[in-house]
Amino acid sequence: MARRPRPDGNGDIGRVAHFLDLARETVPPIHPAGVPFVAAPAAVALLGRRHRWISRPALLTAGACAAFFRHPARVTPSEPGVVVAPADGTIALVDEAVPPAESGLGTEPLPRVSTFLSIFDVHVQRVPIAGTVTTVTHTPGAFVSADLPEASRDNERTTMTIRTSGPGGPELAVVQIAGLIARRIVCEPQVGDTLRIGDTYGLIRFGSRVDVYFPAGTRPRVSVGQRAVGGETPFAYLDQ
Q: Is 55 known to be catalytic?
A: no
Distance (Å, whole) CA 186 – CA 123: 11
Question: Which parts of the chain are beta strand (E)?
Answer: 82-84, 89-97, 110-117, 124-126, 131-139, 157-163, 171-178, 184-187, 194-195, 200-205, 208-213, 227-228, 234-237
DSSP result, 18-57: HHHHHHHHHSPPBPGGGHHHHHHHHHHHHHTTT-HHHHHH
Structural contact between residues 125 and 202, judged by C-beta atoms closer than 8 angstroms? yes
Give Cα 32 to chain centroid, integer Å.
14
Could you count the other beta carbons within 10 Å of the beta carbon of residue 231? 26
Q: How far is CA 193 from CA 37, 56, 147, 162, in A?
A: 29, 44, 30, 10
Find the catalytic residue in 55, 152, 208, 223: 208
Show which residues are catalytic: 208
